[in-house]
């Protein structure tokens, strides 16, 4: 096992997270399997209770772990799935942060973890418990255990673990981790540990970050005892996707290979030549380069038709990192739609009448008037689309309701996430149904018109960060199921529900060009080469491309005509985003090509082509790893087959799928034609193919995949 440690100096916020992610991309492009660990020295157990203004976005992992936003960068750059154990904090080391059941399993397997709990049980047999060696040993054991866990869906341990140490060298709270990592470098031995330090090098009379000249690099080499070829310059670039390319162009991978003795293995070993040639190959970044260059072109001022403006109506607009994953998902979608993204930040509270009255009052007293109300509405009305992200607490809720009202009445594309979906429901209840007092019990526990309610099985304290949860199967606050029939009678469609039919996950307005709300958080699953379908739908609708996208490319998996005729749902209940693909293309989850072009990373392929990893193939094509194949084609790994059914890894198929359902890992299928995916939730009588944590529309020919 090889380890690469990334540290930072001089000041915080230099970009260690992007650097660590980019190093991972470079090593992965060389054929290595890469995992990542982020160390946060703060005493918090995790980032879940930290203010967005304090620490930016809380990124939520597949296992529900609430972690630092840098882990979101790792997942997006490397296209991997991390767990809560990939984020180490001082709080986790000192105190068990897991459930009692899980903690007991860890205690028996990893005796140095959770130091204080072990001390209370007497596991140290009367010894004095100290930072060295007990805390430092626990840190090293944690790193060594987690580094061996595969995060790319393949068997066996990764080749390299990239570790980022948060904060700045010299911080008091970082000292136990620095000591532990110093010991760890000796523990794993020479040739298995590489240190990369990210530092600010101020150069006078220079505006912005520029490449270092040779004289400066020579001085750094001399005084820091670092070979000149190991000094890499990272400077301002048009977009962060260029960072791995900067590292490649300066041969950073060769420097890392020298330190880790990888290049020496290739020269001296013939027995393992096949394996080592994989380690030593030059980085293949053609697809990554194409995406970075495409993003650059979209920034060129070639005309207003190449721009798309999205009004982001939120509470934490003063710090863009509070919505980092939403911003990245918008970027991924805008690049897929070949448009430059412009985000207009609209503070939700500035849209409210109270702000207008406050401004009138300040004008009366001749005080400075920022005219926030007027500015907010100008931005909202000038946007091509509206996005209302998650949040909690009642501040700004009325402004979000007004934003939903404006988008609905003026046919402006709208996407509401979590609280953004709930405020859309409240606005509809007030404006269309006439319930002026419609509210959420989160904001008014005594409301007489509770259209949004707390779920009784969950504690309120467990719901403080409800809007940050990816585990949408049991969110704390949901649309009141007793009000669903009333809302549907007025024209609102609930196209996504859980298996019980009681939890509303997706809403749509069929008479609107694009008006969708999602209880879950699709932004956490968006990737540069595989953008979230909901975000692509928003951008496509905002740029007038939605119909073309739905006609020429499949946002969802393809459904053959022979399957469609067997479905018992009402075809008139189609989702706006689920029009027939007419068998034109073969889709990969969330891949979107324009016209007859092949899509970017993991895009769509036409005709009898072979698909990419996890591709979905039509006709007589041959599939790839974990592919799901239509027709009478070769099946995938460990497929389970029924009649002409093609399964996927460990697929489980329902009784009434008649050979047309496609299964996936741990898929559970409900009724008739539903096809499942990992922990998916399926509605009645649907005929869809699923994806990871997908939610599928009721009566919808093609379900959403996230």
- Give the Cα separation of 75 and 36 in Å (integer): 9
Question: pLDDT class for 368, splitting at 50, 70, 90?
Answer: very low
In this predicted structure, what is the pLDDT of residue 55? 78
What's the rounded mean pLDDT across residues 134-157?
Answer: 94
Q: Which of 283-287, 313-317, 498-502 has the lowest mean pLDDT?
A: 498-502
Q: Environment class of residue 447 by beta-carbon count within 10 Å: exposed (0-12), middle (13-18) or buried (19+)?
A: middle
Residue 629 predicted with pLDDT over 90: no
- Give the Cα separation of 486 and 472 in Å (integer): 24
CA distances from 634 to 608, 616, 637, 658, 695 (A): 13, 12, 10, 18, 27
What's the rounded mean pLDDT across residues 12-38?
Answer: 94
Residue 471 predicted with pLDDT over 60: no
Q: Which residue has the higher pLDDT, 679 or 397?
A: 397
Q: What are phi and psi of 205, to 5 degrees?
A: 65, 25
* Torsion angle defined by CA atoms of residues 454, 455, 461 and 463, in that order, rounded to the nearest 10 degrees: -80
Q: Is 510 helix (H, G, I), strand (E, B) or coil?
A: coil
In this predicted structure, what is the pLDDT of residue 26? 96
Question: pLDDT class for 127, splitting at 50, 70, 90?
Answer: confident
Question: pLDDT class for 501, splitting at 50, 70, 90?
Answer: confident
Question: pLDDT class for 359, splitting at 50, 70, 90?
Answer: low
In this predicted structure, what is the pLDDT of residue 458? 41
**Long-range contacts at 300-308 (CB < 8 A, ≥ 24 apart):** 306/338, 306/339, 306/340, 307/339, 307/340, 307/342, 308/334, 308/337, 308/339, 308/340, 308/341, 308/342, 308/384, 308/385, 308/539, 308/542, 308/543
- Give the Cα separation of 520 and 467 in Å (integer): 8
Q: Environment class of residue 665 by beta-carbon count within 10 Å: exposed (0-12), middle (13-18) or buried (19+)?
A: middle
What's the rounded mean pLDDT across residues 483-507?
Answer: 91
Contact 614, 626 (CB under 8 A): yes
Contact 400, 334 (CB under 8 A): no
Question: pLDDT class for 550, splitting at 50, 70, 90?
Answer: confident
Question: pLDDT class for 371, splitting at 50, 70, 90?
Answer: confident
Contact 167, 176 (CB under 8 A): no
Residue 317 predicted with pLDDT over 90: no
Contact 516, 415 (CB under 8 A): yes
CA distances from 537 to 132, 214, 577, 688, 694 (A): 54, 48, 7, 18, 16
Residue 393 predicted with pLDDT over 60: yes
What's the rounded mean pLDDT across residues 327-340?
Answer: 95
Q: Which of 262-276, 446-460, 556-570 has the lowest mean pLDDT?
A: 556-570
Q: What are phi and psi of 168, to 5 degrees?
A: -125, 140
In this predicted structure, what is the pLDDT of residue 13? 81
Choose from 223-237, 396-410, 537-551, 631-645 the range with maximum mean pLDDT: 396-410
Question: pLDDT class for 269, splitting at 50, 70, 90?
Answer: very low
Q: Which residue has the higher pLDDT, 642 or 362?
A: 362
In this predicted structure, what is the pLDDT of residue 616? 36
Tokens of 697: 């529309």
Residue 427 predicted with pLDDT over 90: yes
Question: pLDDT class for 280, splitting at 50, 70, 90?
Answer: low
Q: What are phi and psi of 172, to 5 degrees?
A: -60, -40
In this predicted structure, what is the pLDDT of residue 206? 62
DSSP summary character for residue 394: S
Percent of the chain with pLDDT over 90: 48
CA distances from 417 to 73, 248, 530 (A): 21, 38, 19
* pLDDT digit string, tens, across residues 38-53: 999 998 888 888 887 7
* pLDDT digit string, tens, across residues 87-116: 999 999 987 433 333 444 444 344 334 777
What's the rounded mean pLDDT across residues 588-602?
Answer: 35
- Give the Cα separation of 653 and 642 in Å (integer): 8
In this predicted structure, what is the pLDDT of residue 205? 67
Contact 621, 629 (CB under 8 A): yes
In this predicted structure, what is the pLDDT of residue 353? 84
472 cis-preceded (ω within 30 degrees of 0): no
- Give the Cα separation of 65 and 613 in Å (integer): 27
Buried b (16+ CB within 10 A) or exposed e, 550-568: bebbbbbbbbeeebeeebe
Secondary structure string (H, E, C) spanning 319-353: CHHHHHHHHHHHHHHHHHCCCEEEEEEEEHHHHCH
In this predicted structure, what is the pLDDT of residue 607? 36
Choose from 126-135, 558-567, 582-591 the range with maximum mean pLDDT: 126-135
Residue 668 predicted with pLDDT over 70: no
In this predicted structure, what is the pLDDT of residue 290? 94
CA distances from 402 to 312, 382, 441, 518 (A): 13, 15, 19, 18
CA distances from 519 to 70, 479, 498, 507 (A): 24, 9, 11, 9
CA distances from 394 to 358, 397, 705 (A): 19, 5, 31
| Residues annotated as catalytic (active site), given as ranges | 418, 521, 523
* pLDDT digit string, tens, across residues 599-617: 333 333 333 333 333 333 3
In this predicted structure, what is the pLDDT of residue 705? 37
Contact 74, 166 (CB under 8 A): no
In this predicted structure, what is the pLDDT of residue 361? 53
In this predicted structure, what is the pLDDT of residue 688? 39
DSSP summary character for residue 135: I
Cβ atoms < 10 Å from Cβ of 371: 14
* pLDDT digit string, tens, across residues 183-228: 999 999 999 999 999 999 887 766 677 788 889 899 999 999 999 9
Task: With both helix axes pointing from N to C terminus, report the angle between 372-382 and 353-364 in degrees, rounded to the nearest 10.
Answer: 140
Residue 182 predicted with pLDDT over 90: yes
Contact 147, 158 (CB under 8 A): yes
CA distances from 64 to 197, 390, 417, 471, 475 (A): 31, 16, 17, 6, 12
Rounded to two decimals, the pTM is 0.72
Average pLDDT over all residues of the chain: 74
Question: pLDDT class for 402, splitting at 50, 70, 90?
Answer: very high
Cβ atoms < 10 Å from Cβ of 104: 12
What's the rounded mean pLDDT across residues 324-343?
Answer: 95
In this predicted structure, what is the pLDDT of residue 417? 96
In this predicted structure, what is the pLDDT of residue 456? 56
- Give the Cα separation of 56 and 53 in Å (integer): 6
Q: Which helix (H) or strand (E) holds 362?
A: helix 353-364
Task: With both helix axes pointing from N to C terminus, report the angle between 252-259 and 16-29 in degrees, rounded to the nearest 10.
Answer: 80
Question: pLDDT class for 407, splitting at 50, 70, 90?
Answer: very high
Question: pLDDT class for 645, splitting at 50, 70, 90?
Answer: very low
């Amino acid at each position: 096992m090889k380890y690469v440690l990334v540290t930072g100096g001089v000041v915080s916020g230099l970009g260690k997270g992007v650097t660590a992610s980019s190093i991972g991309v470079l090593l992965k492009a060389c054929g290595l399997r890469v995992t990542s660990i982020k160390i946060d020295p703060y005493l918090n157990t995790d980032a879940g209770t930290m203010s967005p203004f304090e620490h930016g976005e809380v990124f939520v992992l597949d296992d529900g772990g609430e972690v630092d936003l840098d882990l979101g960068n790792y997942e997006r750059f490397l296209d991997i799935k991390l767990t809560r154990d990939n984020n180490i904090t001082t709080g986790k080391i000192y105190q068990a942060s897991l459930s009692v059941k899980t903690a007991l399993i860890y205690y028996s397997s990893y005796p140095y973890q959770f130091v204080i709990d072990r001390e209370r049980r007497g596991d140290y047999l009367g010894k004095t418990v100290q930072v060295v060696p007990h805390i430092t040993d626990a840190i090293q054991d944690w790193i060594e255990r987690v580094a061996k866990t595969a995060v790319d869906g393949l068997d066996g341990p990764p080749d390299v673990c990239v570790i980022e140490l948060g904060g700045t060298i010299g911080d008091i709270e970082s000292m136990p981790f620095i000591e532990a990592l110093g010991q760890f470098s000796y523990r794993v031995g020479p040739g298995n540990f590489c240190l990369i330090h990210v530092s600010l090098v101020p150069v006078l009379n220079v505006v912005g970050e520029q490449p270092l000249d040779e004289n400066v690099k020579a001085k750094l080499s001399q005084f820091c005892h670092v070979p000149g070829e190991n000094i890499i310059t990272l400077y301002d670039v048009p977009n962060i996707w260029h960072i791995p390319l900067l590292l490649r162009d300066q041969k950073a991978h060769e420097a890392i290979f020298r330190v880790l003795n990888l290049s020496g293995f290739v020269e001296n070993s013939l027995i393992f030549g096949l394996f080592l040639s994989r380690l030593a190959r030059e980085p293949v970044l053609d697809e990554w380069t194409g995406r970075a260059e495409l993003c650059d072109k979209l920034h060129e001022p070639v005309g207003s038709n190449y721009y798309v403006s999205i009004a982001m109506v939120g509470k934490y607009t003063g710090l863009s990192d509070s919505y980092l994953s939403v911003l990245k998902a918008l970027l991924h979608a805008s690049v897929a739609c070949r448009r430059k993204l412009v985000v207009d930040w609209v503070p939700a509270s500035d849209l409210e009448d109270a702000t207008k009255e406050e401004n009138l009052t300040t004008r009366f007293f001749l005080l400075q008037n920022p005219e926030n109300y007027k500015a907010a509405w100008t931005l909202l009305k000038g946007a091509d689309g509206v996005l209302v992200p998650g949040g909690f607490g009642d501040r700004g809720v009325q402004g979000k309701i007004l934003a939903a009202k404006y988008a609905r009445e003026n046919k402006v594309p709208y996407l509401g996430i979590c609280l953004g979906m709930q405020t859309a429901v409240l606005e509809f209840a007030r404006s269309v149904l006439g319930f002026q007092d419609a509210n959420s019990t989160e904001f008014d526990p005594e409301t007489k018109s509770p259209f949004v309610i707390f779920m009784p099985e969950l504690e309120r304290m467990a719901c403080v960060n409800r809007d940050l949860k990816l585990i949408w199967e049991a969110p704390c606050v949901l649309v009141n199921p007793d009000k669903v029939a009333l809302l549907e009678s007025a024209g609102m469609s609930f196209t996504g529900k859980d298996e019980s039919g009681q939890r509303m996950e997706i809403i749509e307005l069929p008479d609107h060009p694009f008006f969708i709300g999602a209880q879950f958080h699709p932004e956490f699953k968006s990737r540069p080469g595989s953008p979230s379908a909901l975000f692509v739908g928003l951008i496509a609708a905002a740029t007038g491309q939605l119909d073309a996208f739905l006609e020429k490319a499949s946002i969802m998996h393809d459904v053959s005509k022979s399957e469609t005729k067997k479905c018992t749902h009402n075809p008139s209940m189609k989702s706006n985003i689920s029009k027939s693909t007419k068998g034109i293309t073969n889709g990969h989850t969330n891949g979107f090509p324009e016209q007859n072009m092949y899509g970017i990373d993991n895009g769509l392929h036409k005709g009898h082509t072979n698909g990419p990893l996890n591709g979905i193939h039509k006709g007589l094509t041959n599939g790839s790893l974990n592919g799901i194949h239509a027709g009478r084609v070769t099946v995938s790994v460990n497929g389970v087959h029924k009649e002409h059914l093609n399964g996927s890894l460990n697929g489980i198929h329902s009784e009434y799928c008649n050979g047309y359902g496609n299964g996936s890992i741990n898929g559970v299928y409900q009724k008739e034609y539903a096809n499942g995916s990992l922990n998916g939730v399926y509605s009645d009588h649907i005929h869809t193919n699923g994806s990871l944590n997908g939610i599928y529309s009721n009566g919808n020919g093609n379900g959403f995949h996230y």
